[in-house]
Amino acid sequence: MAYDATFWVAVSFIIFCGGLLYLKIPQKVNETLNKLILDIKNEIEESEKLRFESKVLLDNAQNKLDSANTESKKILKEAKKEAEELVIKMNDKFHKSSEIKKNLGESKIFQMKEAALKEIKNVSVKIAVDSVKKVITSSIDKSKLDNIFEKNLEETKIALKKINS
């Protein structure tokens, strides 16, 4: 009997398949695929855990950032308020200080004016007394003496009025 090539291909295929079954190749392939599937599942679970942990860390970081922003805004508001209060306080101190200096200056000016007026009055009296002495010593004529006295008295009154004005 003559067998054609197709028959021998079929026989060799059956022998090949039998050899594969005898060597348990499909079970080994199945075990390898199951192991790869299990490894992939473990990696997926690990990545899910990492994703969850990173989400928790991100939420914590976001909360801390929000808290820090809130705190910084609070600190800025407080600093601004304190700065405004300090400016107001310094402004009040400046105005009080300038008012005190102004009052001191005015009182010194008033004291100096009073001292000058007293000095002018004293000098005027001294001049008047000296004038009277000169008149008395230089002339004995009573009419002359009265005229000079009246003249000096008028000059002294005019000088005192100018000083008081």
Question: Domain spans of the chain?
Answer: 5-164
Q: State mean pLDDT over 123-151.
A: 74
12-26, 28-42, 108-122, 144-158: the lowest-pLDDT one: 144-158
Task: Output 122 or 32, whichever has higher pLDDT.
Answer: 32
Give the model's pLDDT for residue 74. Answer: 95
Are the C-beta atoms of 135 and 148 separated by less than 8 Å?
Answer: yes
In sequence order, the 6+-apart residues with CB closer than 8 A to the CB of 125 are none
Spatial separation of the C-alpha atoms in residues 110 and 105, rounded to whole Å = 9
pLDDT tops 80 at residue 78: yes
Spatial separation of the C-alpha atoms in residues 91 and 97, rounded to whole Å = 10
Q: Which two tokens stand for residue 102?
A: 């102004």
Q: Which two tokens stand for residue 125?
A: 């009296």
Residue pointed to by tokens 């009419």: 143
